[in-house]
Amino acid sequence: MVIERPAHIPADEDFVLPPMPTTLNPPQEEVIWDRLATIKGKYAQAPTKILEMSSGGQLWLAGLPTAANKHRFPPATLQIACFTERPEERNGVVLPNALLRRFPVAVAAERAEAWKDLWPLILQSLYCGKVIVTHCIAGRHRAGGAAALIRAVMMGETLEDASDWIAQRRDTDVPGFCRDKEAAKWLQEAAKSTKRRDRWPRPSGYLATPRSALHLQGFKQVPLCMHHQKSDKAQRLTDPMFTEDGDEAVAWDRPWCRACLARAPASWMPRDAGSE
């Protein structure tokens, strides 16, 4: 199959790549991709929408968000940086109101565990109609592989078909990234083994009692962690406090229910409970 790739994309001054800090010390697996990020010039690519769900959930692929270009990004609730450091450590930024998660897809020792933690958050965010941005430095190799993986699972495509679909719409090089045979093998296995799980209810507020954890409310005042139990066995809190205001809920000073958070989209994830 011959892939018709986009014509040359003119340099976009908003997406000039900032110099890497001299103090940066990335894992060796990432050094080559940092170098290749500027192989087509010192410019990253602007965001491209590569997935849209019937729920309204969207996945965008981009280069590094910076202070100069953050206004060009969609209003994301989840930002996935496909390297080990925070974006600020590479002279980038965390997008306004976005929850940051790191997915070092090129680092063999870290990618599997990171994907295991990240996938439920991706899935529920897309199901709930939220916007996700995934990026590396230029937006061609590491983030291209991560985006192809997400699209493949959500659309029921092969990794190759998802990669080709993206390559027809923006300048990516997932086959180049897959010259790393271990990374290619992992991506293939992850695309085949990752499942689209059940859609949990969209949270509608916060529940707690003076002795309970702080829960997210699902249907009919049932904590999200108790959803899918038989209605006559579902555990409800006795006379719980309820609010739709996250700041008020945090002020109750109760520990977060980790099981509820594991079923929540990024927009409901507290920034003080496992945030990057």
CA–CA separation, 56 and 244 (whole Å) = 22
pLDDT at position 134, please?
Answer: 98
Supply φ then ψ for residue 100, to 5 degrees.
Answer: -90, 130
Q: What is the pLDDT of residue 275?
A: 46
pLDDT score of 10: 53
Domain spans in the chain, listed from the N-terminal domain onward: 13-22+29-193, 206-268
The pLDDT assigned to 276 comes to 57
Q: Residue 126: which of 182, 192, 77, 68 has the closest Cα?
A: 77
Q: For 13-22+29-193, which CATH class?
A: alpha beta
Q: Compute the distance between CA of residue 216 and CA of residue 225 in angstroms, rounded to an integer.
A: 8
Distance CA 210, CA 109 (A): 41
Determine the pLDDT at residue 1.
43
Point out the residues of the chain with pLDDT beneath 50: 1-9, 233, 273-275
Can you point out the beta strands (E) in the chain?
Answer: 48-52, 58-62, 78-81, 99-102, 131-135, 206-208, 215-216, 241-243
CA-based nearest residue to 276, from 98, 33, 122, 62: 98
Prediction pTM value: 0.90
Query: What pLDDT does 20 receive?
Result: 83
What distance in Å separates the CA atoms of residue 105 and residue 60, rounded to the nearest whole number? 17
* pLDDT for the residue 7: 46
> Which is it for strands 78-81 and 131-135: parallel, antiparallel or unpaired?
parallel
Determine the Cα–Cα distance for residues 188 and 149; give it in Å rounded to an integer. Answer: 8
The confidence score (pLDDT) of residue 221 equals 81
Q: pLDDT value at position 272?
A: 54
Q: The tokens of 42 are what?
A: 């010192």
Largest CA distance in the chain: 63
